[in-house]
Amino acid sequence: PLPPNSIIVVLGASGDLAKKKTYPALFGLYRYGLLPKNVKIVGYARTKMDDADYKKRISSYMKTPTETIETQLKEFLAMTSYVSGQYDQDEGFISLTKHIEELEGDVEERYRLFYMALPPNVFIPVAQHLKKNCYPKSGGARIIIEKPFGHDLASSRELQTALQPIWTEDEIFRIDHYLGKEMVKNILILRFGNEFFGAAWNKNHVSSVQITFKEPFGTEGRGGYFDQFGIIRDVMQNHLLQVLTMIAMERPVSFSAEDIRDEKVRVLRAMPIIDPKNVVIGQYDKSLDGTKPSYQDDATVPKGSRCPTFAAIVMYIKNDRWDGVPFILKAGKALDAAKVEVRVQFKDVTSGIFKDIPRNELVLRIQPDEAVYVKMNTKLPGLTMKTSVTELDLTYKRRFSDLKIPEAYEALILDAINGDHSNFVRDDELDASWKIFTPFLHYLDENTDIVPAKYPYGSRGPAFLDDFLASYGYAREQHG
């Protein structure tokens, strides 16, 4: 772990991510007593701000419902300070280092954690300047970087090649914040800590796996960024694929970061590239009642954009465990719900004694309201032999009502402080995931005659989605 007197620097401190996620997570860790003793937090960005403005900005997303928390916030803010400077010139980084050294005082070894909450076009110059100007002569440093890690295999490798001669893989922490979510961290425990799940976790018993991401809002002015990426790059190639690997990977030799990530890479390498036949894309239109705008109505979206805001992609894994089982990734903006879940649908029981008995399903609800539940058949109690579908239900709010579920960013920043890479993306993992997606993404970019199907804002997605899913054997009526 980082020793006492370490320094955490948030680059991009005036931005949205810093305000909404990074600083609130740091404050959370402070409140749990999990930051290194006597740590100092320094913000760095281009914007000129005085101390009061900076503190107001970074605390704007922090809630202080009690007096104790209000006092803690004051203590926390007292540990923070701000330096402004450019991202591509030595000068700013030199004054940053001076400031850091003043805070460190006369210590022998200096430890610094740089959190880059930055737009991708300045990743490389900032990483270079940090190494050149802010890397301690004795002690050590780590950098946390945020997606997007390129927009295809070639650009991701370019970023890699620029970073790697200056920062070692051991010093780099690539965040995919889905890996910090409580239910995602639970997947390996569920699978490998419960014999009865493990035994049925293969092509003999599983009919399909569906990983769904639904947001009930559109781009809302963020269309300029979104349009360059689209839903597939924004949440599927990273967040949903990470969930898929956790569901599909083989048992790691141990829970060490390298053993886990070795298995993740192995399963990704067993996945063929995406076949356009197995994809549906959509873009949201006005809501049926006309009150919600279409994607094209967003002033920040280029006119006539073909950018998908919805996609369903069926993927396969060519190994003994999964060959032939469809893994359906489904994601969309401006849909009918806010929900992220994994649905493992088991095969029909052997027919003969039952007529039309529904399949078992195991559902992991990642958000909101974390839950694990199994849809199962049982005899309806009473003087009848009727069966009924019921749920073995582990809803966290009920079962663990006195335990707080941490924010993904709290969990991940703590891991980075502790030097634990298990929940961060390794370079070869990133490469393997881009390999699966890149040919299809290029195919979409190049074929201008492919246009996404329209779906109304607030709906379940394009109208033919259910038929598409059914063609992969997915039985929707099982939902209940």
Considering the complex, what minimum distance in angstroms separates the CB of residue 335 from ligand BG6?
A: 12
Return the number of the residue (243 or 328) whose C-beta is nearest ligand BG6. 243
Return the number of the residue (89 or 300) whose C-beta is nearest ligand BG6. 300
Beta pairing partners, 211:
329, 342
Pairing of strands 80-84, 7-11: unpaired
Q: Which of 142, 310, 298, 123 is nearest to 224 (CA)?
A: 298
Burial of residue 446, with CB atoms counted within 10 A of its CB: 0-12 exposed, 13-18 middle, 19 or more buried: exposed
Considering the complex, what minimum distance in angstroms separates the CB of residue 95 from ligand BG6?
A: 32
Return the number of the residue (203 or 339) whose C-beta is nearest ligand BG6. 339
C-alpha–C-alpha distance, residues 54 and 246, integer Å: 39
Considering the complex, what minimum distance in angstroms separates the CB of residue 340 from ligand BG6?
A: 6
* Token reading at 17: 């991510």
Write out the residues near ligand BG6 by the rule CB under 6 A. Answer: 177, 215, 234-235, 340
Q: Which of 294, 280, 286 is nearest to 223 (CA)?
A: 294
Closest CB to ligand BG6: residue number: 234
Phi, psi of 387 (to 5 degrees): -105, 160
Q: Which of 234, 231, 232, 226 is nearest to 302 (CA)?
A: 226
Considering the complex, what minimum distance in angstroms separates the CB of residue 302 from ligand BG6?
A: 18
Its sign, for the CA torsion 389, 394, 397, 402, is positive
Return the number of the residue (145 or 340) whose C-beta is nearest ligand BG6. 340
Q: Is 129 a catalytic residue?
A: no
Considering the complex, what minimum distance in angstroms separates the CB of residue 181 from ligand BG6?
A: 7
Return the number of the residue (55 or 177) whose C-beta is nearest ligand BG6. 177
Return the number of the residue (215 or 262) whose C-beta is nearest ligand BG6. 215
Answer left, alpha or beta for residue 461, where phi above 0 means left and psi between -120 and 50 means alpha.
left
C-alpha–C-alpha distance, residues 200 and 362, integer Å: 11
Task: Out of 205, 239, 421, 442, pick the active-site residue.
Answer: 239
How many residues in total does the chain contain? 480
Return the number of the residue (97 or 309) whose C-beta is nearest ligand BG6. 309
* Cα end-to-end distance, the chain, whole Å: 47
User: Which residues have a catalytic role annotated?
Assistant: 239
